Structure 1
Amino acid sequence: MLPKLYLLLTFLCFSFLSNGQNLLGEIEEINHLPNHEFLIKTNRADLKIAFYGPDILRIRYANDDQFAVKDSIMLAPNQPKAIEVLVRKVKKNYLFESNSLTLKLHRETGQITIENKEGKVLVQDHLPASKQETGLKLSKVLQADEHFFGFGERMDVLDRRGRKVKLEVGRGTGRPHIVGAYNVLEANYSPIPFFMSTKGYGLYLHNSYTSEFDMGQSSGQVYTVSAQGGEMDYYVFNGPSFAEILDHYTAITGKSPLLPLPAFGLQVGTYNGGTWGHENELTAHYPIALIKKFRAYEIPVDVLHFDSTWRIFGKSGGSGATSFEWRPQFTNPKQTIDSLYALHLNMVGLHVRPRLDNGFSLDLLDQARKAGMVYPEPGGKGEFVNFFDPKAADWWWENGAMRVANLGIKFFKTDEGSAFGRLANESDKTGPTGEKIKELHNLFPLVYAKAPFEHFAKFNGMRGMNHTREGFAGIQRYPFIFAGDWPSEWQYFEPVIKAGLNIGLSGVGYWTHCMGGFEHVADPELYIRWCQFGLFSPLSHLFGMEHPNYKEPWNYGMEAVNIFRKYTQIRYELLPYIYSSAYQMYQSGTPLMRALVFHFQDDPNVYPITDQYMFGENLMICPVTTKGAQTRVVYLPEGQWLDLWTSKVYSGKQHINILSPLDIMPIFLKAGGLLPSQEVEQYIGQKDIKTLNVKVFPAKSGQFELYEDDGKSMQYQSGDFAKSWLKCERTDREIVLSKSSPTGRYPSKFQHLNWEIFLQNKPSALLINGKQVAIGQSEEEPAFYKNEILYIKAKLKEDLSQEIRIQ
């Protein structure tokens, strides 16, 4: 391939619109750059094309070769490099070809068409670009029956065909706080300029300015992507499956690292008995009594964070800033924190905000201004830590965060990332403003989460964890996200589920919400239904601000306590399944909570479903979102599905009406699904667990990769793990179940394996590791059959493998 290819003069018409001009330019040359990018120069515009793998294509546009020199924080530091591709001229097109994708650049019109290796059109410029418009804009052909999913944490809809969305970090406006928190149509805590199409591709706009995606609202033939400034820089990802697309997208913006294992247990937040307006009622003993009560009720719990009232509201920013000065009720904060760890909590954290403030004995804001560590504002009045500057982030850690890290605090809840350049939550301040802020506003939540995530990891010598409300593309590298302050009202329950589905389809898999809602005293029925969903969310977070109930289950009656305990214990039983699914996300970007369209993108019946989802590979969860409901309608996609409560089997591609009394949230195991679990612990690390339990709904084939590691260190990234395959194969003659010997350097803890196999008929013979075993009727025997379930208990072989043959 020639490093520089000169072409005959011709006209190239871009479908980009910039600064109100419809750009036409004569092609002067195509430069093949040393880094495998292609620079296409015209007399009025420049275009860069690069393939970052066979299935990842990047297209950039700029005037006068003014491309950004560095990639933004949205992109992962270890993203793949550009690869060499074939370039050739065929008829009226210049073709740029990888093994999977072809970009066609039409010589006469400049139309870009992107096809997969089968010649199927994925993305095509819409020509002509006739209107004079302001800003940067892409105009693409909207294909028949094409549907779009993603765009970040949205509360309104799942399928965005025929809709328009504006992406700018913020809670949204338009409704008074007391009436309904915030407008569900506008709430935008974590917008992400990325979508996946049911036609088998994804598109990511690498631009941090406020953007707008019109997915066919204005025209039934075209969708458009525009930004208010910056560079028109976008990626196209080939699938065809959503799993493949997300894998490619997260290769560019980053995979989610594994969280510490305790993060997957129950997490609880507390105002220490003194929420807004009741600060004088808080006590240092409240959080200790809270955890003691969880222990007394035998409700497992692992993580606690103190929310905003732990600290003094300072002299300048009030409740909207962080003074790093404890309230006087905390006479000995270290003793309080040590007492919580003595109750076997694994992690304790604190709520912070990005502004600094002067307390009554600590003038941290003055110090930061003097040292130049706040983002500049007129008159030297800056308050936001300049997290864009690593030196400022280090200063903030050493002079502020270390004051609490030294006491045993292991993570922060970084709140109000949206206040940088916008009206703050508990303040009338807007922070820095101006043209530069338009570029930085959406990026601020990333640098704000990155600083504590990385510093705590280094300080504690373990994996980082950060709990944050706002995000943008790339936030999955500094997990995790929570959905914000939605009231305890039925009307907000399903929108929160939509938020989790949408953000999962946008590459962010670690997500949670305030179970039962954040503010207002919940209807006990709503509280129970919301908590059922919350305990089958990627992370489970219990927190509320209403005084004095908060969201503690005993304040909603003993029925709530019993059901809450039941679902919390199920979650702890399923930790092997949940943790293995989290490792899958680290490898591939596949979220833990998956809209049905993720697995069934060719089934239009699932496109509008916002109250069912897959939890990992094998479980379908169906929250009950209607007050007073004793039944609910469930759509079963293709295949067979086992009701885990009744063991009844249903065929797919149909709707069913299923019983759902208050203590039952419908849960289905898909055919071929294997579901590993373990004994319940009251906190992670309580017991030396050596027995793995596996439920199996046999089908022609099925497999699940069981993952183990130390749950704490970063050594999993260099081979200190144990991975085993659980498999099920079914023929007309027999069912074969197996566990492989583990691979990796970490010693597996499991020595015994108990199976539960759902079978409608009692088998005639059973072999365990080649030896015939009788099938009895008593639970005391190694194998017995009861109520259409075959139970098997067996020690693993010396190499920790096992084979079961059922005939």
Structure 2
Amino acid sequence: MNFKIVFHVNRAPRNLFGTAITPPQNLSKESQPLTRPSASAKATADKSATLSPSEGERPGVRGLPEDFDSPLHIRNYWARHRETFALGVDGWWPDDGDELPLEARLTRHRCYYEGPLQDRPNVRPWSLHRTGYAGSQRYGGWIWSGDIDGKWETLAAHLSIGLNHGLSLTPFWGSDTGGFYPTRELTGELYTRWFQFSAFCPSFRSHGRTWHLRLPWGWNTGEYGPIENNQNVDRSELHNAEVEPICRKYLELRYRLLPYNYSLARQACDTGLPMMRALWLHYPDDAEAVKLGSEYLWGRDLLVAPVVEKGARARRVYLPEGTWYDWWTGKTVEGRRWIERPVDLATLPLYVRAGAIIPLEPVRQYTAQPVNEPTTLRVYSGTNGAFTLYDDDGHSLGYRDGSDLKTVWIRFRWDDSTRRLTLEPDERMKQCPDGVRVFSVEVAGRDANSRRVEFRGERIEVEL
């Protein structure tokens, strides 16, 4: 995503409904989609926000005939957005909604998916919601965990919340880094630990009251900035020079992992597998792994164990069977056991499964920024492995039918016995965009120089 404007909206009609934003062709001309709402329709929709479910029930809900002329229908509610959308809004942030009936929550997701497609039929819609319901994944809506307190116990709870969300609702979830409401527990340490966790969540955003303290550099100015809620944060915490460089380290890692993360997002779209994965998804026969909600897999190959205790100097981590690499030191450790990982404030325990092939790109300042250096393929040897890299134009709907000529599907296979990496086109890739894609291939933990490889859409092998 390379968004410049995300528009914040709230107070959706309490009984918003509709199973389609476009009426059937046989409706009268007067019933076709509105370009602007009438004053009366707007007033009725605003009033509906206070109706009870029984008072506001409308045709179209629970199998009744659909009334496309109702001001509560999503075609008319979306019409209220069109003028603003035409100004160049890239995405929508539907806030509130806790009071909405379940049907209306789901309908709201439909509205912010089908509505933008009416006006920009080949641009992917994007919206960030505070609420949802089963079926929200159909509309690609992102959901965050709401207005939460900035406390250690809140951070700790969010590990299992994120895992459960990905398994039961949508794979696209996140939280307000640091918590929305500042408390006495909100310190530079808590913010940093939360920032590290958020770097391995699908939605990575820093947001909350006293917004100045949602900026990594805001913790070393001596000032609160604008006071939006309270002054609960201890003023002595506002001279912490450690926060910004540590947050920058994890922000840059997030950008470096962009090809890995984008491939995970495509896998989530195709299969429903979440990006944040409970260990039991890949280790169902491991009795210890099945019990854990305090650490998780980021995709298949990375294991993340966020630090969620104040003043921690060590983090107890369970590693499933196999060989694991410490991301920061490169050292290997055998799994199916608990380990004690020493930590300082800059360290989030992060491990890579042997056999993993991790694509890494140069640091960007925004997702669409062009880079000149090649994509690095880092092989973690010790067993055979595979990874399929996915990429596309990032904005069109061509990913659905294969019409996007920039679509990339490249399969990497590592043969540990022969030390050979194979690069080959996946059957879903029609051509190699730009004719050639350059990779820099390296083996983790080895001092040997990396190998430059030019992939031109045909199978090649590299010995390392």
1:803–1:482 Cα change, 3 Å:
same
Q: Say if 2:434 is the partner of 1:741.
A: no
What displacement does 1:348 show? 2.6
Counterpart in the other structure of 1:728: 414
Cα 1:390–1:582 shift into 2, 3 Å: farther
RMSD: 2.9
Native 8 Å contact 1:457 1:465 kept in 2: no
Shift of 1:618: 0.7
Counterpart residue type for residue 86 of structure 2: N
Does structure 1 residue 629 correspond to structure 2 residue 309?
no
**Corresponding residue of 1:30:** none
Q: Please say if 1:419 is aligned against 2:99.
A: yes
Structure 1 unmatched runs, 5+: 1-261, 263-301, 304-344, 357-361, 421-440, 760-787
Counterpart code for 1:544: G
In 1: Cα distance, 2:358 partner to 2:340 partner: 25
CA distance in 1, matches of 2:68, 2:55: 21
The amino acid that maps onto 1:554 is: W
Q: Does 1:397 align with 2:81?
A: no
State the TM-score, normalizing by the size of structure 1.
Answer: 0.47
Give how far 1:390 is off: 5.4
Provide structure 2 residue ranges, at least 5 long, that are not aligned to the other structure: 15-35, 221-240
Are 2:274 and 1:591 equivalent residues in the alignment? yes
Counterpart mapping for 1:284-683 below 5 A: 302-303=2-3, 345=4, 347-355=5-13, 366-369=40-43, 374=48, 377=51, 392-398=73-79, 400-420=80-100, 441-460=101-120, 461-478=122-139, 479-520=141-182, 522-545=186-209, 547=210, 549-557=212-220, 558-683=241-366
Shift of 1:511: 0.6
Q: 1:528 to 1:591 in 2, by over 3 A?
A: same
Aligned equivalents of 2:459 and 2:38: distance in 1?
58
1:698-709 equivalences in 2 (<5 Å) = 698-709=381-392
CA distance in 2, matches of 1:386, 1:523: 49
Question: Shift of residue 369 of structure 1?
Answer: 4.9
Give the equivalent residue in structure 2 for 1:184: none
Question: Aligned equivalents of 2:322 and 2:352: distance in 1?
Answer: 11
Amino acid at match of 2:316: V
Report sequence identity in percent. 29
CA distance 1:369–1:570, change in 2 (3 Å): same
* Paired amino acid for 1:482: W
Relative to structure 1, the CA distance from residue 727 to residue 395 in structure 2 (aligned partners, 3 Å threshold; closer, same or farther) is same
Code of the residue aligned with 1:348 in structure 2: it is V
1:642–1:671: 8 Å Cα contact kept in structure 2?
A: yes
**Secondary structure at 1:756 match in 2:** strand
Superimposed CA distance per residue, residues 484-534 of structure 1 (whole angstroms, 9 cap, x where no aligned partner): 111111111111111101111225211111111111152110000000000
Q: CA deviation at 1:699?
A: 3.0
Deviations 1:567-604 (A, max 9, x none): 11111111100001111111111110001111111111
Structure 2 contact 136–169 (Cα < 8 Å) conserved: no
**Corresponding residue for residue 752 of structure 1:** 438
Partner of 2:460: 802
| Cα distance in 2, alignment partners of residues 708 and 537 from structure 1 | 20
Q: Aligned-pair distance for 1:800?
A: 5.5
SS in 2 for 1:513: strand
CA distance in 1, matches of 2:172, 2:463: 38
One-letter code aligned to 2:92? F
What is the rounded CA distance, in whole Å, between the counterparts of 2:150 and 2:298 in structure 1? 24
Specify which structure has the higher proportion of strand. Answer: 1
Contact 1:375 1:386 (C-alpha < 8 Å) held by counterparts? no
Residue 747 of structure 1 and its aligned partner are, at CA, apart by: 4.0
Q: Deviation string for 1:274-298 (max 9, x for gaps)? A: xxxxxxxxxxxxxxxxxxxxxxxxx
- C-alpha distance in 2, partners of 1:727/1:741? 11
- The equivalent residue for 2:230 is none
Q: Which amino acid aligns with 2:7?
A: G
> What CA distance in whole angstroms lies between the structure 1 residues aligned with 2:373 and 2:332?
31
- CA-to-partner distance for each residue in 1:67-122, whole Å, 9 max, x for gaps? xxxxxxxxxxxxxxxxxxxxxxxxxxxxxxxxxxxxxxxxxxxxxxxxxxxxxxxx
Matched-pair contact (CA < 8 Å) for 1:507–1:590: no
TM-score, normalized by length of structure 2?
0.81
Distance 1:797 1:405, change over 3 A: closer
Equivalents in 2 of 1:591, 1:744: separation in Å?
24
The CA distance in 2 between the partners of 1:660 and 1:477, in whole Å, is 40
Name 1:307's counterpart in structure 2.
none
Q: How many residues align?
A: 406
Note if contact 1:736-1:803 (Cα within 8 Å) is conserved in structure 2: yes
Task: Provide the rounded CA distance (Å) in 2 between the counterparts of 1:737 and 1:790.
Answer: 16
